Structure 1
């Protein structure tokens, strides 16, 4: 009987683990997506008009100790891709410049809209919580590397280009100032999946 009871308990635990939404996994107070380096809150389903909306959404406030200027409503997949970029493409590139990276200026996250807000265009990945737009990298000394003013300059230009390139891989789509006029002041990152690999411009 004891063996049977133990088997039933184990089966119940396994079943609950399988059924738990991805974003519910917690490893500590404030952690989301089951990752100790992702902080924010789980907000569950975000309803949107038409095909818009996010399942198991989180409102992310910081990544690996780097603060987001605005909490970002995104999926766990997008949050994890952002973490990879911060850890492998932002911190190593910034190094000790300005005391190191301290924040990311977020200018867009979940929003039910078309690509580039163009009438008749397909829905943007922002409409599904799969995208985040970054306009600046805040440094510990209070200065900021901005995509609009520093891209292509002799100052922070080379570092911004390296960060843009490092996003190619963690994210499916990576767009910057050289993509088109709509992205002259920010990086657009999303987790769309392409058979040919990441699309980076």
Structure 2
């Protein structure tokens, strides 16, 4: 008996024995739209291959997990923003992360911190698992390289803002995080931050999950604060990899997707910072895409 067959039999017996059922198995097939989205993104040059974004061998993981055209990412925005540790992602996710960083994160960084972001710390990219790490939950978008969890941002002067430590922290750091979360809701189809549930207390989860009944999930409700008037500080060092520093974007929107529901955009007009609810005593309901 081969090792692969043995592992499959063990997994199947565990699922049956628990009487809970596996929410994905070895016989599931990946939805056709996923490969189509990857191929369209590549054809439209949504990702430029470089020393920072390198194509790797197709991932055909357990069951439906994997992607046709994965990329290994060590930096985004043409090498300006380092990604630590390196991430494995599909083309659509890389394309939209670049959009989010250039049109949302960098303007927020300059407005609140007076410095550009030169690095992000990611907590999960490709991972063949269920939502929130549960073996019995629906399959996560992480299983397709279609999601990223961001735990911290590093600035050109060496400062670092963590989601866990600064979501309710000083006004500058807090204002920055609230603004990047609000903008993420206009770029991605799922954005989950502290206050959405107990699983996202230390990071911002973004993904591109497709849904028929609820196109956009954005939790908690975005309530960015008005940024202060800052004069950009001189950076202590050049951005990572020595690239040209990004310029502040003009005042305005974040590059809203055309298909985004109007009410989702209107939610971003609130001005008071959110108060995240206390973690419930029991296990929270699943949120699609985590």
Structure 1 pair 34–52 and aligned structure 2 pair: CA distance change class (3 A): closer
1:124 matched to which residue of 2?
A: 140
Structure number having the greater strand percentage? 1
Say which of 93, 101, 104 aligns to 1:86.
101
Which sections of structure 1, spanning at least 5 residues, go unmatched?
A: 1-20, 27-31
Q: Superposition RMSD on alpha carbons, in Å?
A: 2.4
In the alignment, the residues of structure 1 paired with residue 152 and residue 158 of structure 2 have an alpha-carbon distance, to the nearest angstrom, of 12
1:66 matched to which residue of 2?
A: 81
Instruction: Provide the aligned length of Structure 1 versus Structure 2.
Output: 177
Which sections of structure 2, spanning at least 5 residues, go unmatched?
A: 1-38, 220-290
For the residue of structure 2 that corresponds to 1:104, the secondary structure is: strand
- With normalisation by structure 1, the TM-score equals 0.80
Contact kept in structure 2, 1:174 and 1:200, CA below 8 Å? yes
Structure 1 pair 45–135 and aligned structure 2 pair: CA distance change class (3 A): same
Say which of 176, 199, 204 aligns to 1:187.
204
User: Which one has more relative contact order, counting CA pairs under 8 Å at least 6 apart?
Assistant: 2
Which runs of structure 1 show a deviation greater than 6 angstroms over 4 or more consecutive aligned residues? 23-26
For the residue of structure 1 that corresponds to 2:56, the secondary structure is: strand
Deviations 1:68-121 (A, max 9, x none): 112111110000110111011100000072632110111100000010012310
2:194 matched to which residue of 1?
A: 177
For the residue of structure 1 that corresponds to 2:71, the secondary structure is: strand
